[in-house]
């Protein structure tokens, strides 16, 4: 702080003091009679000022003395630091001068290390002398199956070896940390001396694994031996855990740790389980479906026997936390899964493949195998998972379906060859109980197809649907091949009208067989469809009519019937359900259009025609919703047909009817002139000339039906036209 700043600070302090004194004085001497005490106040304040000044002088004196003392100590410390710096420089110079002489201390370091090693050897000498004898005794105990005593001796030998090695490894040369060669040589020497100990440990481990492999036989004959083996494994497991929990920074670990004898026990147990379950092995030379079925049946029995023995014989010999039933179940599951993958990798015929799939999907999880009541409380089948992955199961189902198709094709060909030879024989066809000619071909084929469907149904809905599709496909091929055989049969007859002798009779037998075949296939399909048609036809009776035009619920009733019928169809499997639904839609379309053409209703005005078109549009919308509800949203037949016909009535200008009829023919090329004329009659405003124009347009646009087109108008009957002249009906009576 500068002198000017100090002056200003003093002036400010004096001003504050004067102000404070004036304030105090004005408060004390506010009345004249108080002035007589002025002398007393003055003396008191004078004494106070003197006391304050005395204390300030004492404090200042003490402060100055402390500063003097501190300065003196700093001077002494500075002097000592200078002496230390000088000493360090001298020590550094001495170190640099004597650096090369440190190598002379190396022999001393070597002697110290040898001394430590010798001291360790001397201390351990009485025990070391006894090592060979103890190894021999332990080997004898091991051979005589006294496992617990052998393990006690082994632990003593391992403790001695580990103690000697630890004490050797504990020493590290302090002068040169890179010189560890003598220590390493000593440790190698100790390990070579104790090599028999490690051999004993390995022999004991192999003995325990051997006992695990034949655990069931040991548990039946000498359960105490198996219990001893488990106790040894538990002890070694504890030692492994303790070693694992040791300090991470410790560079030395006992040799042979961890032993993992518990893991080896389960591995050996799994090997023993699988050896017992898989005996005898499956030989692939000349293997038939019956051999596969027999092998799987025997495998099932051995697995059940193994699990029962594990639960009732082996479980009492092992600790509960081993969870042996569940572990053995997983061992069997994994081994069987590998075995099945090996079986499925071969080119199996479809009967053998069926046995495998049936065993996988039905037998394996049933109460006759993994769900057996004797061990179901110990083993949860749901935890085991699938024997084969879902994608592999899907592949095998497709493989089975392909094989079935190939076999069905081959069987049908052979049956047809036998049938064709029967047609040529000089013998009348067989007759049924009613005296009709009979051929067994269709019955044999149908029975063969249905048997395959029933077999597939036993393995689940997925395979059943696949086989049904394959059966339908092969049935279609069968009909094609039958037609070819009939053509060939006819050609043979045309060459010589007297040969075959019973040509006509066999044709009748074939027709009867085809009718029976058709009846068997379509009986369940056509029966509900025919019932629906009989019930639905009266519903179209009042379409079109004037109540219908004004907003009746006729079409709503039809939609309700469709939805009710679909509830029964949903009980049928695909593709039968889809076929019936498609036939339902086709029937509704046919009956709706037929009602339009067969009605005596005629529009009397343009407004009534527009009302008719509007009502048809509403009907199409309701039918579309109903068909969408039952699962036919992708089939536009009915709705599209109604919309196309509705355009004929929505058209206000009759002269454009030719264009609308042309569009109708494009969408439905099987529509005939009679159909169009019947629809135009409903309009009520089509003149003879306009009718002629429409027919001429249809003649010019005559279309060929596409190969994939499904006819609709051919199934719609056209009402017979009224004769141009007729007497009164009473004249014809």
Q: Which residues contact 411 (CB under 8 A, 6 or more apart)?
A: 448
pLDDT classification of 635: cutoffs 50, 70, 90: low
When the pLDDT of each residue in the chain is averaged and rounded to a whole number, the result is 79
pLDDT at 526: 45
Region 528-555 average pLDDT: 65
Comparing CA positions, the residue from 152, 268, 264, 277 lying closest to residue 218 is: 268
Least confident of 368-382, 415-429, 510-524, 716-730: 716-730
pLDDT at 525: 43
pLDDT at 148: 87
Q: Which residues contact 617 (CB under 8 A, 6 or more apart)?
A: 643, 646
Q: Which residues contact 439 (CB under 8 A, 6 or more apart)?
A: 419, 422, 429, 430, 506, 509, 510, 512, 513
- Find the helix or strand (DSSP H, E) in which 430 lies: strand 430-431
CB count in 10 Å sphere of residue 457: 15
pLDDT in tens, 601-614: 888 888 888 988 88
CA distance 394 to 388: 10
pLDDT at 114: 67
pLDDT in tens, 27-50: 777 777 777 777 777 788 888 888
Q: Which residues contact 239 (CB under 8 A, 6 or more apart)?
A: 257, 259
Q: Which residue has the higher pLDDT, 629 or 344?
A: 344
Tell whether the model's pLDDT for residue 724 goes beyond 50. no
pLDDT at 431: 82
CA distance 506 to 570: 41
Phi, then psi, of 553 in degrees rounded to 5:
-100, 25
| Fold entry, domain 395-524 | Tetracycline Repressor; domain 2 (1.10.357)
pLDDT at 727: 36
The fraction of the chain above a pLDDT of 90, given in percent, is 1
Q: Is 435 left (phi over 0), alpha (psi -120 to 50) or beta?
A: left
* DSSP bridge partners of 430: 438
Tell whether the model's pLDDT for residue 254 goes beyond 80. no
pLDDT in tens, 389-405: 889 988 988 898 898 88
Q: Which residue has the higher pLDDT, 589 or 707?
A: 589
CA distance 205 to 217: 19
Inter-residue contact 355 to 293 (CB < 8 Å): yes
pLDDT classification of 58: cutoffs 50, 70, 90: confident
Least confident of 38-47, 97-106, 463-472, 643-652: 97-106
Q: Which residues contact 251 (CB under 8 A, 6 or more apart)?
A: 169
Tell whether the model's pLDDT for residue 308 goes beyond 50. yes
pLDDT in tens, 103-143: 666 677 667 766 766 676 676 666 666 677 888 888 888 88
CA distance 241 to 237: 6
pLDDT at 527: 44
Region 505-525 average pLDDT: 67
pLDDT at 726: 42
Tell whether the model's pLDDT for residue 569 goes beyond 60. no
Helix (H, G, I), strand (E, B) or coil at 431: strand
Helix (H, G, I), strand (E, B) or coil at 437: strand
CA distance 269 to 262: 10
Half-sphere exposure of residue 122: CA atoms within 13 angstroms, side-chain side:
6
Tell whether the model's pLDDT for residue 632 goes beyond 50. yes
What does each C-alpha distance from 710 to 97, 671, 699 come to in angstroms?
Answer: 115, 12, 22
Provide the 8-state DSSP code for 543: S
Domain ranges of the chain: 40-93, 112-245+253-272, 278-388, 395-524, 557-593+605-718
Comparing CA positions, the residue from 663, 633, 635 lying closest to residue 647 is: 663
pLDDT classification of 182: cutoffs 50, 70, 90: very low
pLDDT at 175: 38
pLDDT classification of 371: cutoffs 50, 70, 90: confident
Tell whether the model's pLDDT for residue 246 goes beyond 80. no
| Burial track 587-626 (b if 16+ CB lie within 10 A, e otherwise) | bbbbbbbbbbbbbebebeeeebbebbbebbbebbebbbeb
């Amino acid at each position: 702080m500068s002198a000017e700043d100090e002056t200003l600070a003093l002036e400010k302090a004096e001003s504050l003091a004067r102000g404070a004194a004036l304030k105090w004085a004005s408060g004390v001497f506010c009345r004249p009679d108080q002035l007589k005490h002025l002398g007393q106040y003055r003396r008191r304040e004078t004494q106070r000022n003197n006391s304050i000044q005395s204390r300030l002088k004492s404090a200042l004196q003490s402060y100055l003395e402390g500063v003097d003392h501190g300065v003196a100590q700093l001077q002494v410390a500075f002097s000592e630091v200078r002496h230390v710096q000088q000493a360090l420089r001298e020590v550094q110079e001495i170190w640099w001068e004597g650096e090369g002489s440190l190598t002379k201390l190396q022999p001393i370091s070597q002697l110290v290390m040898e001394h430590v090693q010798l001291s360790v050897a001397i201390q351990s000498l009485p025990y070391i002398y006894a090592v060979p004898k103890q190894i021999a005794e332990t080997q004898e105990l091991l051979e005589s199956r006294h496992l617990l005593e052998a393990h006690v001796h082994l632990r003593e030998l391992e403790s001695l070896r580990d103690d000697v090695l630890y004490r050797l490894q504990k020493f590290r040369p302090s002068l040169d940390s890179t010189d560890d060669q003598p220590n390493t040589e000593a440790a190698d020497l100790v390990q070579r001396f104790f090599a028999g100990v490690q051999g004993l440990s390995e022999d004991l481990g192999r003995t325990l694994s051997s006992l695990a492999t034949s655990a069931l036989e040991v548990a039946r004959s000498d359960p105490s031996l198996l219990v001893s083996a488990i106790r040894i494994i538990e002890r070694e497991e504890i030692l492994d855990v303790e070693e694992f929990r040791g300090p991470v920074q410790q560079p030395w670990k006992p040799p042979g740790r961890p032993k993992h004898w518990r893991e080896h026990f389960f591995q050996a147990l799994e090997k023993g389980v699988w050896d017992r379950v898989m005996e005898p092995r499956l030989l692939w030379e000349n293997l038939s479906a019956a051999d596969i079925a027999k092998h799987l049946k025997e495998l099932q029995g051995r697995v059940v026997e193994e699990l029962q023995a594990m639960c009732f014989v082996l479980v009492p010999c092992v600790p509960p936390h081993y969870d042996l039933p569940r572990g053995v179940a997983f061992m069997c599951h994994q081994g069987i899964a590998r075995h099945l993958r090996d079986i499925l990798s071969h080119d199996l015929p479809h009967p053998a493949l069926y046995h495998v799939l049936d065993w996988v999907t039905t037998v394996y999880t049933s109460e006759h195998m993994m769900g057996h009541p004797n061990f179901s409380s110990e083993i949860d089948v749901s935890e085991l998972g699938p024997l084969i992955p879902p994608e592999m199961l899907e592949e095998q189902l497709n493989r089975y379906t392909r094989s079935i198709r190939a076999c069905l094709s081959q069987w049908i060909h052979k049956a047809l060859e036998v049938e064709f030879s029967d047609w040529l024989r000089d013998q009348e066809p067989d007759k049924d109980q009613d005296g009709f000619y009979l051929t067994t071909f269709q019955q044999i084929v149908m029975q063969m197809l249905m048997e395959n469907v029933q077999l597939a149904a036993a393995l689940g809905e997925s395979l059943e649907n696949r086989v049904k599709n394959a059966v339908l496909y092969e049935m279609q091929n069968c009909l094609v091949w039958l037609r070819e055989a009939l053509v060939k049969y006819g050609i043979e007859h045309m060459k010589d009208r007297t040969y075959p002798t019973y040509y006509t009779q066999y044709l009748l037998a074939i027709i009867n067989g085809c009718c029976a075949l058709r009846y068997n296939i379509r009986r369940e399909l056509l029966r509900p469809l025919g019932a629906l048609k009989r019930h639905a036809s009266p519903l179209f009776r009042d379409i079109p009519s004037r109540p219908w035009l004004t907003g009746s619920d006729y079409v709503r009733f039809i939609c309700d019937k469709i939805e009710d019928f679909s509830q029964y169809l949903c009980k049928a499997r695909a593709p039968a359900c889809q076929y019936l639904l498609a036939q339902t839609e086709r029937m509704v379309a046919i009956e709706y259009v037929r009602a339009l053409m067969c009605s005596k209703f005629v529009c009397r005005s343009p407004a009534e025609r527009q009302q008719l078109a509007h009502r048809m549009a509403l009907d199409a919308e309701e039918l579309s919703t109903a068909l969408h509800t039952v699962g036919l949203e992708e089939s536009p037949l009915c709705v599209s047909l109604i919309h196309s016909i509705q355009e004929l009535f929505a058209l206000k200008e009759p002269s454009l009817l030719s264009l609308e009829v042309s569009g109708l023919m494009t969408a439905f090329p099987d529509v005939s002139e009679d159909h169009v004329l019947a629809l135009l009659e409903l309009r009520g405003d089509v003149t003879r000339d306009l009718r002629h124009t429409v027919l001429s347009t249809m003649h010019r646009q005559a279309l060929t039906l596409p190969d994939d087109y499904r006819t609709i108008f051919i199934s719609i009957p056209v009402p017979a036209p009224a004769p141009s002249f007729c007497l009164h009906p009473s004249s014809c009576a």
